[in-house]
Amino acid sequence: MITYKLHLIRHGQTEGNQKGLFVGRTDMPVSEEGFDELSRLRDTYEYPRVGAVYTSPLRRCIQTAEFLYPNNMLTVVDDLQEMDFGEFEGKSVAELEDNEDFGRWLADSAHNAPPGGETGLQMAERLMKALSEIFAHMMQNRITSAAVVTHGGVIMTLLTAFGYPKRELGSWSVENGKGYTILMSPQMWMRDNSFEIYDTVPSMLEEGDNRWDTRSWAMDLEDLEYVLSTMKLLGSKGTTGTQASFLELFDGDQEKIDQIDPMIAKKMGFEKCVPVSGQTYSRKVDTRVMNILAGIAASAHKMSNDIRLLQHLKEVEEPFEKSQIGSSAMAYKRNPMRSERIASLSRYVMVDALNPAITSATQWFERTLDDSANKRLSVPEGFLAIDGILDLCLNVVDGLVVYPKVIEKRLRSELPFMATENIMMDAVKAGGDRQELHERIRELSMEAGRNVKVEGKDNNLLELIAADPAFNMTLEQLEACMDPARYTGRSEIQVTAFLKDVVQPILDANKELLGVKADISV
């Protein structure tokens, strides 16, 4: 099922905002200072790329939309206007603090209206109509990402009335030029008139991205997109799946009955409905979905394992907060706590994928009710766990610290062992006997390894080879073989091509998602 993104953005600052006035329906323009601030925001942050821009009819919103999205056609939605403040319009809090109507309004703005204005509930009803209009237009035109330039009160009311997570009205206060991204699905909106509050707008521009094991993640994305593209809606099949009631309802008109499922699928954001079903959709669908989540979990687990191993070697470190405690016993330690948590949750999701598989396999004929309790636990918890895992991954990768000097030191200590074949071939070219040299280099490697592992000394393999007349090579000649680039093969070319041909198209196709951050306190 397709998910739609709406970026709710408050208009640029006006003189009324600067003076602290209640400005609702007064058609006040963006001030000079407001445009300066919008310019600074645009240069410092990144506003999401969108397929459409919707705006309040008031001038300050239209001006902001034109400034932030100069290449997009604007669609004016009348019901996106700010609250009707009635007699409070154009006045400050100081001017109204002794007004009894103002006191009642502050105490319960949902049910009390300013004289001549509207209540919060009336505003919410109006905004639900506006959002429904925008959402329908997006689905009809296959627009998956859109900007909505409106007012601070509108954003606060929308998030409070229809958004998850649930918070008090005041907690959604937003500065001029900023806002929130919401995720909408046809199912959530049509069923509950609700959406998910996803992120803040705009996002900070970054100099570069940290990427880890993108091969696995790219495969997960391919799997996800394939399953989403082939997912079908149950449709309306009646009590047992036979659509018998529709035969009665439409007097046996088969053509009319055949029109029902395509209409429902389009309304719900699906391409098709399943052609044949029982009362419920096949639990095989749950299996497909959970397998995708398990695949994502496996990629995350692999990444976290590698980070933990490299942190053990002190080559990298996951983010570490100023006040964070690395170990309850040893204060100096910096345990990879977030990577450990990724591994822990990932194992849960991978095992959780067995639940729908077993449920699907053990259904009696059409359906038994033993699937219900299991499904209501396994599927939602799988999604919740993956959400937490991806937040942790985002946080770890975003703040990952790399120590090149430690990497170089370790590479130098191990490289002589890796270079023995090249050294032997160079010695053969100089007239040595390959079989004899192979045996000598084996013996010297064992001696050097013993020095490192048993005696705790540095790797002295090069010195041992230089001292052996069988190789007829100086220490300087051997050092020349220690260029790491000689032992990487085509890895640089392969990685560059992978980033260009695989990763970059993914980034380009999902530009509106870039810059998302996840704050993890512990």
pLDDT at residue 431, as a whole number: 82
pLDDT at residue 211, as a whole number: 42
pLDDT at residue 500, as a whole number: 84
pLDDT at residue 214, as a whole number: 65
For residues 90 and 147, give the distance between their C-alpha atoms in angstroms, rounded to a whole number.
28
- Residue 480 has a CB neighbour count (10 Å cut-off) of 12
pLDDT at residue 62, as a whole number: 97
Domains of the chain in start order, with CATH, are 4-204 (3.40.50.1240), 214-232+268-399 (1.20.200.10), 233-267 (no CATH), 420-481 (1.10.40.30)
For residues 26 and 89, give the distance between their C-alpha atoms in angstroms, rounded to a whole number.
8
CA nearest to 337, candidates 328, 345, 347, 326: 326
CA nearest to 416, candidates 459, 360, 387: 459
Count of all residues that appear for the chain in the document: 522
pLDDT at residue 522, as a whole number: 63
pLDDT at residue 300, as a whole number: 95
List of residues 6+ apart from 323 with CB closer than 8 A = none
Q: Are strands 74-76 and 52-55 parallel, antiparallel or unpaired?
A: parallel
pLDDT at residue 212, as a whole number: 46
The side-by-side arrangement of strands in the sheet containing 179-184 is: 74-76, 52-55, 145-150, 4-10, 179-184, 195-201, 163-164
Give the largest CA-CA distance in the chain.
104
pLDDT at residue 222, as a whole number: 84
pLDDT at residue 391, as a whole number: 93
pLDDT at residue 1, as a whole number: 52
For residues 247 and 257, give the distance between their C-alpha atoms in angstroms, rounded to a whole number.
8
For residues 372 and 205, give the distance between their C-alpha atoms in angstroms, rounded to a whole number.
45
Alpha helices in 315-369 (DSSP H): 337-352, 354-361
Q: In sequence order, what E strands does 327-411 have?
A: 401-402
pLDDT at residue 196, as a whole number: 87
The secondary structure of residue 331, as a DSSP letter, is T
Q: Taking the model in full, what pTM does it have?
A: 0.56
For residues 218 and 495, give the distance between their C-alpha atoms in angstroms, rounded to a whole number.
14
Q: What is the mean pLDDT of each run of 10 residues along the chain (522 residues)?
A: 85 94 94 93 86 96 95 93 94 91 91 93 95 92 92 95 87 92 87 86 53 70 86 86 87 90 89 86 90 94 94 89 53 77 96 92 78 90 95 91 89 82 80 84 88 86 90 85 76 81 84 79 66
